[in-house]
């Protein structure tokens, strides 16, 4: 067949791709975007306090690093559900540490807990509910699925912890055959941790309303205080899918390994999720899975590292909390994770007079005028006119602090100032900017 006629003609056609509208309307993740922007400014030699991105500043525990190196030769595909030994180790770890009774057969290893949350959001029918404020990616994940998204307002007087009556009120004028609640505990962006009685009350509402809970417990090992962390799975085991990973307590965010644990009462999800996984990410890198195995199979080898990191996070959070109160900001005291959620409502009139009427403008002005990088409250499903911001309390040299942190000393504000100079500088800049 002679095809020369096609080669001889010139077609002046401009390619115009047609993009899925749910995707095209998304903006880049606020946390990832602010981190790249901050890195760009730092690389340009700008002196900024980077409080916008929640990445652990500590090194990965040595046993995990060693296991990763020793297993770097492993190149085979692993089952989409994950390495059997790792799934068993995760099940045993969460049983020992938190009393959960998930089985290895119903655990999935994924490239980060974020991906596993998305898989469930996509897979499960029904609207997605989250407390407001909540982590920035839940809403966009619902939008990709064209899923109804319902932020539930919470109260600063409760530390922004979702209350049973607030959840129950969501159902007052609507009925759902099934709904999904994501409960991030300890919480990003507030640092709050639910009380046992709050979890018990929430469980009763979920049981009554046929709610499937995705309990995002990525900060579960970064809970402060002497009392151990409790998740809602203790009170609502039949309806709770628990997700976690190695990015926070184990400081291995870039390794991209998370997991989801599904109760046997919801095991109908398992074959569908298994098929979904097989057609999307296939499996997590084999060497990384062996690296994670070293931590979960022998937690005692990393326990001291994890707990020292937690104590430093607590000290940093306490320092910032006190400074924010001194400055005149409203701010619940963090009880876990490495975030605080202060607001500038006491300065509303003064800021309005400077043309600052939104959290977006507030964050923009603090970066451009004071060199303090943080995230606006509107990214966390709060009204933009509410002058709240999220602060990540991790702008310090974690590797050095692991060596220098005075574990046996009582930490006063003066000592904390010397331990966290960038955090102290950020507070000084905010205070001066407000004058």
Which 3 state secondary structure label does DSSP give 78?
Answer: coil
Q: What angle, rounded to 10 degrees, do the helices at 269-278 and 113-123 form? A: 120
DSSP single-letter state for residue 255 = G
417 pLDDT band (50/70/90 cuts)? Answer: very high
Instruction: Name the average pLDDT for the chain.
Output: 94
What is the per-residue pLDDT across 245-287, written as a single tens digit (0 to 9) for each?
999 999 999 999 999 999 999 999 999 999 999 999 999 999 9
> Considering only CA atoms, which of 247, 254, 198, 189 is closest in space to residue 221?
247
29 pLDDT band (50/70/90 cuts)? Answer: confident
The C-alpha atoms of residue 217 and residue 413 are separated, in whole angstroms, by 30
The C-alpha atoms of residue 342 and residue 333 are separated, in whole angstroms, by 9
> Considering only CA atoms, which of 338, 297, 333, 306 is closest in space to residue 423?
338
Residues 164, 186 contacting (CB under 8 angstroms): no
Q: What is the pLDDT of residue 20?
A: 82
For 86-130, the three-class secondary structure string (H helix, E strand, C coil) is HHHHHHHHHHHHHCCCCCHHHEEEECCHHHHHHHHHHHCCCCEEE
DSSP single-letter state for residue 378 = G
Residue count of the chain, please give it: 435
The C-alpha atoms of residue 434 and residue 375 are separated, in whole angstroms, by 18
Q: What is the pLDDT of residue 6?
A: 58
The C-alpha atoms of residue 161 and residue 163 are separated, in whole angstroms, by 6
The alpha carbon of residue 268 and the mean position of all alpha carbons in its chain are separated, in whole angstroms, by: 27
What is the per-residue pLDDT across 104-150, written as a single tens digit (0 to 9) for each?
999 999 999 999 999 999 999 999 999 999 999 999 999 999 999 99
Whole-model pTM: value is: 0.94
Residues 176, 129 contacting (CB under 8 angstroms): no
Q: What is the pLDDT of residue 43?
A: 85
44 pLDDT band (50/70/90 cuts)? Answer: confident
25 pLDDT band (50/70/90 cuts)? Answer: confident
The radius of gyration of the chain from alpha carbons, rounded to an integer in Å, stands at 23
Q: What is the pLDDT of residue 174?
A: 79
Domains and CATH numbers, the chain: 30-57+303-434 (3.90.1150.10), 74-297 (3.40.640.10)
Strands 107-110 and 258-261: antiparallel
What is the per-residue pLDDT across 193-206, written as a single tens digit (0 to 9) for each?
999 999 999 999 99
């Amino acid at each position: 067949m002679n095809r020369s006629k096609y080669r001889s003609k010139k077609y002046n056609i401009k390619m115009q791709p047609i993009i899925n509208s749910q995707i095209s309307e998304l903006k880049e993740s606020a946390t990832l975007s602010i981190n790249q922007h901050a890195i760009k400014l730092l690389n340009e030699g700008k002196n900024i306090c980077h409080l916008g991105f929640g990445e652990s500043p500590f090194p990965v525990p040595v046993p995990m690093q060693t296991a990763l190196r020793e297993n770097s030769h492993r190149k085979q595909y692993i089952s989409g559900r994950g390495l059997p030994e790792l799934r068993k180790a995760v099940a045993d770890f969460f049983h020992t540490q938190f009393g959960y009774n998930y089985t290895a057969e119903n655990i999935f290893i994924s490239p980060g807990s974020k991906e596993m949350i998305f898989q469930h959001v996509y897979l499960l029918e029904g609207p997605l509910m989250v407390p407001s404020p909540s982590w920035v990616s839940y809403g966009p994940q619902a939008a990709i699925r064209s899923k109804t998204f319902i932020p539930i307002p919470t109260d600063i007087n409760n530390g922004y912890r979702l209350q049973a009556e607030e959840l129950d009120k969501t159902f007052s004028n609507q009925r759902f055959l099934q709904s999904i609640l994501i409960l991030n505990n300890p919480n990003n962006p507030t640092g709050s941790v639910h009380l046992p009685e709050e979890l018990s009350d929430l469980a009763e509402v979920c049981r009554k309303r046929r709610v499937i809970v995705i309990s995002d417990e990525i900060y579960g090992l970064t809970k402060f205080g002497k009392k151990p962390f409790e998740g809602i799975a203790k009170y609502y085991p039949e309806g709770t899918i628990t997700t976690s990973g190695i990015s926070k307590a184990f400081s291995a965010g870039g390794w991209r390994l998370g997991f989801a644990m599904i109760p046997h009462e919801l095991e109908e999800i398992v074959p569908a999720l298994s098929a979904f996984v097989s057609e999307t990410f296939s499996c997590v890198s084999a060497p990384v899975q062996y690296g994670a195995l070293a931590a979960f199979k022998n937690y005692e080898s990393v326990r001291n590292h994890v707990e020292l990191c937690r104590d430093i996070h607590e000290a940093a959070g306490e320092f910032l909390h006190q400074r924010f109160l001194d400055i005149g900001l409203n701010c619940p005291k963090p009880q876990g994770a490495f975030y605080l959620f202060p607001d500038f409502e006491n300065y509303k009139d003064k800021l309005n007079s400077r043309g600052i009427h939104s959290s977006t403008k507030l964050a923009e002005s603090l970066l451009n005028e004071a060199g303090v990088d943080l995230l606006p409250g509107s990214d966390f499903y709060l009204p933009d006119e509410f002058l709240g911001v999220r602060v990540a309390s991790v702008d310090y040299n974690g590797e050095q602090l692991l060596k220098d942190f005075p574990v046996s000393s009582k930490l006063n504000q003066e000592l904390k100032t010397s331990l966290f100079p960038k955090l102290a500088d950020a507070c000084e800049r905010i205070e001066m900017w407000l004058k």
